[in-house]
Structure 1
Amino acid sequence: MFQTFTTTARPELGPPRLAALRAQLAGAGLAGFLVPRADAHQGEYVAARDERLAWLTGFTGSAGFAIVLPDVAGVFVDGRYRLQVRDQVDLDAFTPVDWPEVKPGDWLRQHLTGGEIGFDPWLHTGDEIARLEEALAGSGIGLRPVSNMIDAIWPDQPAPPLGRAFAHPDALAGESSAAKRARLAEDLRRAGQRASVITLPDSLCWLLNIRGADVPRNPVLHGFAVLFDDGRVTLYADPGKFDAETRSHLGDHVTLRPETALVPGLHSLQGPVRIDRSTAPLAVRMELDDAGVDWVWGDDPCRLPKACKTGAEIAATRAAHLRDGAAMVRFLHWLDGAAPQGGLTEIDVVTALEGFRRATNALHDLSFDTICGAGPNGAIMHYRVTEGTNRAIERDMLLLVDSGAQYQDGTTDITRTMAIGDPGDEAADCYTRVLQGLIAISRARFPKGLAGRDLDPLARAPLWLAGQDYDHGTGHGVGAFLSVHEGPQRLSRLGEVALAPGMILSNEPGYYRPGAFGIRLENLIVVQEAPPLGDMRAQYAFETLTFVPFDRRLVTLAMLAPGERDWLNSYHAEVLAKIGPLVEGAVLAWLQAACAPL
């Protein structure tokens, strides 16, 4: 099993650890310390060594941060985690804070009249610190870069990860590393820049056509890279991660150096050097300043090219989704037979689903720990079942399963919510509104230049009409055998990057009723040029990549407009046409019934 079910949150350990941190603050003359859920590479997923927020507070969500002051310790979480955080932290020691509604600068002004807040400059971006400094202007509260104060009190902190790096075939990437480096180097030359510092693990993996194993569920390598304006790259990573074959794959124009050589390497650069203020740790800029190296803010040169997948990557991803779709259909057939008999738990469901994916003989890893929420657990948006929370699958409830896989030819992410027995008309109506939102995004045709924030309301409109909504984005970017959450593209109120052909995104509206149920439905989609129409303006549309039936038992047919019903019937016909040849016997019979027209 890739997934484990050990309870990792230990609320009772928070208070003594908090006391130790406060003693560090007093000794350093600091009024507080920032504790992000971040590493020096600013990826969303972190290695065990970098789980500082979880170690201190007990909160294990994938986003959030803490601000520790002498008398109060705020744990800032967004709408996805407001139920989870209260279950995982000692509420006598830590105070959950609704973020981003409550800004950290405003919170600090409320609780302090002055003093310095310490922060580790390797764990915060330039953008992040600049925003906080601006918010604190005139308050008497300042920020001071310091060495990490959690590391100083964490006696058994895990060692840095040493996952094996390996080559990603050019045939799957659709472009050689040399071609990518030449293309991006030309962009640097046009901008008058001599080099760019690359800190995101998925960026350097994409650029060099390599993958790694330093972060759970994401095949990425921890390291830093400097891309020069002549196409050369210096890669700063532990040489022990690279065997002879992978070193040969890197080629003569990629120099491998240990991470300890990064700071001297930065000092030796000739500027101007590009730094991404939204993803690079502030420490990179500070080191360049110390060495007198000219630098400029600019986008990570890999992020947008990486987001716009090549034809080869899209073709490979389609194949991965068909394989994964067949595994999902086998799983849903099994669930429909097993659940009515009773005795199933959330852990049983997660274990079975991983088994169906393993049976493909192509599974590299999960793309994230499977979310399996029965009844009220489904309302916890990023719920992770443990031995302590494992809930029985009972009749007349909803079961939400959000899961994905990493295959060498693609990354998948799919959510389905299923009826166990008869959850009732209200649950079905809510399910139908969520489905209408997914259909609206799937059918969207939109002008070139629109961003995710422009399309996000389409998915919410059916819920808004009923006075309902959800506290997460409608969709995130997805990599090609890379991170399941990939920027800069997203379908969200915060999505400001224009959507472009080749971008893969999730389409996952939801609705959550605390203490009762959760509903989320998710397909992956890819942006494509739309056929000419009307006045021939450039327009885009979405191709659906995921082919797994929705639960027809939860669709309130009277709520669907004719176009919505036609889309759903057409989608199910395509599911049957694509997945039907991959299954047989009782599974095929189940699929035929699940895809029958409404």
Structure 2
Amino acid sequence: MTIFERVNALRSLMEEKKIHAYIITSSDPHMSEYVPDYWTSRQWISGFTGSAGTVVITKDKAGLWTDSRYFLQAEKQLEGSSIQLFKMGIPGVPNQYEWLLSELEQEANIGFDGTCFSIAQTKELKNALADLSFHIHEDEDLINEIWSDRPNLPKQMIFEYPVEFAGQSRNEKLAIIREEMRRLDAKHHFVGSLDDIAWIFNLRGQDVNFNPVAIAYALISEENSSLYLDQSKLDNETILNLKNDGVEIFDYKQICNDLEELPSSENVLLDNNRSNLRIYRSITANIIERENPSQLLKSQKNSIEINGIKEAMVQDGIALTQFFCWLEENLGKIKITEFTLMDQLRNFRSQQKHFVGESFSSIVGYKAHGASPHYSTTAETDCEIKAEGILLIDSGGQYMNGTTDITRTTALGELTQEEKLDFTLVLKGMIQMSLAVFPKGTRGCNIDILARQPLWQYGKNYGHGTGHGVGCFLNVHEGPQSIRQELKEQAILPGMISSNEPGFYKAGAYGIRHENLILCKEKQSTEYGDFLEFETLTLFPFDTKALDLNLLNEVERNWLNHYHQKVYDSLAPHLDEKHKIWLKDKTQAI
């Protein structure tokens, strides 16, 4: 079916079931950002492939809400679909709830799949539309009734993550979580988010592209723990190891039944942002709504994880050196497209020790394609790379010892003065963030300005956040911290690894983004408090020929020179002579 036909099929089903509006989120039952193919319902109904967005269908209208990372992509993918794009965060653009208020009548029936709608989302919906006196139909997975060739649930094997990389055993992690449960007087703790489960139980999977997680639920009690998953995905040794650690295995679909049987007199700890409505409805016991303790625990990497990630950065830097050297040697001599670069980058990374896969689908944006922050190359958009213009590559690797995420923007020919200005302003912002010193307790929104100030001074800005947390051989996007303008209560704490990625995007022309991963660490304690700083982990040079050196002050020049020296000293011992010479040239002091 075409998108138009799919929307009409959904409307026919809505009419039959007397549903006036139907909401399709981007999520799965585990509130994941990236989901298995089985749960790509929003993509199927709309044709929009971005990771974030919500579709709302009524009797005669349809809308997609997404953020600035995907405006350009969504505009193209929604063409001819009859689905209107609503650009979130733009003044005057209503959010989905405001739009529903204007479209629906009193006592309207609003439907959605309650397994893919979080408790927090449900509360937000109820509060926003309270004036409508509407009725919720959360048991309606209408997409399933019209998606005839829906993919099957994944069957890839689950494997144990060795303590030599994790730094802590599952029993050590469970002991810490149970201590927090006792503090909150919780007899049980339900965990639905896949990366939390993977981290707690030292398990990894292959159910979601690029994210080494497996579809599962967990229920942690005072004396034992239960995992709910497809047992055929575990080998006998893993089952035995889990059993020896007091972890029982049950069928994935049994979770709701077991939650219903929990004594009503006991307390259950549950994260309402990471648990779906169906789960919530299954619990008759008293619910304590708190963020999963594992969110903060896994964000503060232990020394083993930090050392492993630093090793992974060397491996990644070697691959990137080989890749960009290859590009420079072959540009203009053979046909190179965006897909070519994606394949070559994956190939160079795959030759590194401990490499498992990519941490996300590489963003290779040449010229105007780079102006879409989360651009995705397709057969229709793939274009030839020539010795001119600006090339933006955002990529990362999943290694057993760490997860990487790096963006480099490269000048493939002579740049205009405007392009050099923008390139330099973005780098100045990234350097300012790298140099940040701040008191303990500082939140990401308090320091986000450092990355934007150079751009703001020229009346320029970017629409996405400056930094997100990064997992350790886990999801490349990880909470609970973030560095962005919006208020988020979580402070930036020692052990947290975040991205540092300001950017600038000129629609129809080019995109510029510079990204390193940074580790928060203690700097000093004074009579005025404890102060923190960042250590830059990523190891690969910036394109200095694209800079307007007159715009860099002495502090910024010194930072860049010291960083490039560190890159060379870290990578050169692992390179052959050709690549060593290439890297030496790229890390020359300015």
Q: TM-score by structure 1 length?
A: 0.95
Report if the CA contact (8 A) 1:340-1:420 is conserved: no
Query: Which residue pairs with 1:458 in the alignment?
Result: 450
Alignment of 1:549 onto 2:541: yes
Query: Which residue pairs with 1:76 in the alignment?
Result: 65
Query: Which residue pairs with 2:273 in the alignment?
Result: 278
Query: Which residue pairs with 1:7 in the alignment?
Result: none
Query: Which residue pairs with 1:185 in the alignment?
Result: 178
User: What CA deviation, in whole Å up to 9, does each residue of 1:322-360 have, x standing for no partner?
Assistant: 111111111111112222436321111111111111122
Report if the CA contact (8 A) 2:101-2:129 is conserved: yes
Q: Note the 1:230-269 alignment, pairs <5 A.
A: 230=223, 232-252=224-244, 253-269=246-262
Amino acid at match of 1:78: D
Gaps of 5+ in 2: none
Q: Note the 1:89-488 alignment, pairs <5 A.
A: 89-101=78-90, 102-114=94-106, 115-230=108-223, 232-252=224-244, 253-270=246-263, 271-288=266-283, 292-341=284-333, 343-488=335-480
User: Per-residue deviation at 1:493?
Assistant: 2.1
Query: Which residue pairs with 2:21 in the alignment?
Result: 32
Moved more, 242-251 or 339-348: 339-348
Amino acid at match of 2:318: A
Alignment of 1:493 onto 2:485: yes
**The residue matched to 1:416 in structure 2 has which SS?**
strand
User: What CA deviation, in whole Å up to 9, does each residue of 1:27-50 have, x standing for no partner?
Assistant: 111111100010001111100101
Measured in 2, the distance between the counterparts of 1:249 and 1:569 equals: 49
Work out which of the residue numbers 77, 95, 113 in structure 2 matches 1:88. Answer: 77
**The residue matched to 2:132 in structure 1 has which SS?**
coil
User: Per-residue deviation at 1:196?
Assistant: 0.9
Report if the CA contact (8 A) 2:65-2:95 is conserved: no
Report if the CA contact (8 A) 1:435-1:521 is conserved: yes
Report if the CA contact (8 A) 2:322-2:579 is conserved: yes
User: What CA deviation, in whole Å up to 9, does each residue of 1:41-82 have, x standing for no partner?
Assistant: 111110010110111110000101100111111001100001
Report if the CA contact (8 A) 1:166-1:211 is conserved: yes
User: What CA deviation, in whole Å up to 9, does each residue of 1:493-548 have, x standing for no partner?
Assistant: 2333111111111111100011000011110111111134x545201111111010
Amino acid at match of 1:99: M
Measured in 2, the distance between the counterparts of 1:260 and 1:139 equals: 35
Measured in 2, the distance between the counterparts of 1:46 and 1:21 equals: 22
Measured in 2, the distance between the counterparts of 1:318 and 1:368 equals: 19
Percentage identity across aligned positions? 35
Report if the CA contact (8 A) 2:46-2:81 is conserved: no
Q: TM-score by structure 2 length?
A: 0.97
Amino acid at match of 1:537: G
Measured in 1, the distance between the counterparts of 2:346 and 2:498 equals: 23
Query: Which residue pairs with 1:59 in the alignment?
Result: 48
Moved more, 352-361 or 506-515: 352-361
Measured in 1, the distance between the counterparts of 2:448 and 2:18 equals: 46
Report if the CA contact (8 A) 2:3-2:81 is conserved: no
User: Per-residue deviation at 1:92?
Assistant: 4.9
Measured in 2, the distance between the counterparts of 1:142 and 1:515 equals: 44
Alignment of 1:579 onto 2:571: yes
Measured in 2, the distance between the counterparts of 1:185 and 1:370 equals: 39
Measured in 2, the distance between the counterparts of 1:375 and 1:561 equals: 28
Report if the CA contact (8 A) 2:210-2:359 is conserved: yes
Amino acid at match of 1:335: L
Amino acid at match of 1:272: N
**The residue matched to 1:76 in structure 2 has which SS?**
strand
Report if the CA contact (8 A) 1:14-1:90 is conserved: no
Alignment of 1:18 onto 2:11: no
Moved more, 534-543 or 310-319: 534-543
Measured in 2, the distance between the counterparts of 1:480 and 1:317 equals: 7
Query: Which residue pairs with 2:511 in the alignment?
Result: 518
Measured in 2, the distance between the counterparts of 1:446 and 1:29 equals: 55
**The residue matched to 1:531 in structure 2 has which SS?**
strand
Report if the CA contact (8 A) 1:176-1:209 is conserved: yes
User: Per-residue deviation at 1:293?
Assistant: 1.8
Amino acid at match of 1:111: E
User: What CA deviation, in whole Å up to 9, does each residue of 1:250-287 have, x standing for no partner?
Assistant: 23310000112111111122321111111111111111
Amino acid at match of 2:70: Y
Measured in 2, the distance between the counterparts of 1:341 and 1:424 equals: 24
Amino acid at match of 1:510: G
Report if the CA contact (8 A) 2:69-2:373 is conserved: yes
Moved more, 164-173 or 96-105: 96-105
Query: Which residue pairs with 2:585 in the alignment?
Result: 593
Measured in 1, the distance between the counterparts of 2:242 and 2:534 equals: 35
The aligned length equals: 582
User: Per-residue deviation at 1:222?
Assistant: 0.7
**The residue matched to 1:388 in structure 2 has which SS?**
coil
Measured in 1, the distance between the counterparts of 2:81 and 2:218 equals: 43
User: What CA deviation, in whole Å up to 9, does each residue of 1:461-505 have, x standing for no partner?
Assistant: 111111111111101110000001111111112333111111111
**The residue matched to 1:349 in structure 2 has which SS?**
helix
Q: Note the 1:502-513 alignment, pairs <5 A.
A: 502-513=495-506
Query: Which residue pairs with 1:8 in the alignment?
Result: none
User: What CA deviation, in whole Å up to 9, does each residue of 1:281-328 have, x standing for no partner?
Assistant: 11111111xxx3221211112111011111100000100011111111
Amino acid at match of 2:277: L
**The residue matched to 1:542 in structure 2 has which SS?**
strand
Measured in 2, the distance between the counterparts of 1:245 and 1:544 equals: 39
Measured in 2, the distance between the counterparts of 1:359 and 1:543 equals: 27
- Please give the root-mean-square deviation of Cα atoms over the aligned residues, in Å: 1.3
Measured in 2, the distance between the counterparts of 1:92 and 1:185 equals: 50
Amino acid at match of 1:404: G
Report if the CA contact (8 A) 1:308-1:503 is conserved: yes
Query: Which residue pairs with 1:530 in the alignment?
Result: 523
**The residue matched to 1:302 in structure 2 has which SS?**
helix
**The residue matched to 1:249 in structure 2 has which SS?**
helix
Amino acid at match of 1:165: I
Amino acid at match of 2:457: L
User: Per-residue deviation at 1:582?
Assistant: 1.3
